[in-house]
Amino acid sequence: MVKILFSALAAALLGAPAHAQPAGPRVLTTADAAPAGLRPALAAADAALAGPVREARRTLAQAKKRYLAGLTEGGQLMLTVRVQAADTSFRQVAARVLGWHGSTVQVLLPGAADSQAAGSAEPVPVSLPEAAVLDWTIRRANGREEGNFVGRYLDTARQLEDLPLR
């Protein structure tokens, strides 16, 4: 059962073909707003990750409040979002928060998130609505993390997948 769930989730996260390529990084907010070719894969990923995403969104306001109050020295707030890639699939990426104004977040997306080309490794600043956030992680200077609900869920699923069956 876990193997089937994990395989379906992995297939959904790898994306599906779409008809048009984005000009730059395009953050996907909902399956309904995505290009038609991505909607089935996004819907499958949404269903597989519903619990951890729900918890992450429930606690996002607390993470936002802590960020706006100022994180400890060396701390960073990372948000997990989905980005349509140049190969017309989508990727879940961790983006570093640069600023937060109302319900709009300014983040720094990894440069390779929107393109498969090696020359596009420069990070890209993007503004996005809070609704696009799937997960959050506060990384402390000592390496400890808070949040990361989706990431921990996926790690646990991988560990269960690797368990030998007797």
> Rounded to an integer, what distance in angstroms lies between the CA atom of residue 46 and that of residue 88?
18
Tokens 């379906």: give the residue: 8
Give the tens place of pLDDT for each residue, 106-141.
999 987 644 444 455 788 899 999 999 999 999 999
The sign of the dihedral angle between the CA atoms of 51, 55, 15, 32 is positive
> Rounded to an integer, what distance in angstroms lies between the CA atom of residue 108 and that of residue 114?
12
pTM value is 0.76
Q: In the chain, where are the structural domains located?
A: 2-162
pLDDT at position 86, please? 65
pLDDT at position 145, please? 95
Query: CB within 8 A of 54, min separation 6: which ones?
Result: none
Q: How many Cβ atoms are within 10 Å of 134's Cβ, its own excluded?
A: 20
Point out the residues of the chain with pLDDT beneath 70: 1-24, 32, 86-88, 112-120, 166
Q: How many Cβ atoms are within 10 Å of 71's Cβ, its own excluded?
A: 17
pLDDT at position 25, please? 72
Query: CB within 8 A of 92, min separation 6: which ones?
Result: 13, 45, 80, 81, 82, 134, 150
- According to DSSP, the β-strands at 104-109 and 145-147 are unpaired
pLDDT at position 166, please? 66
pLDDT at position 88, please? 67
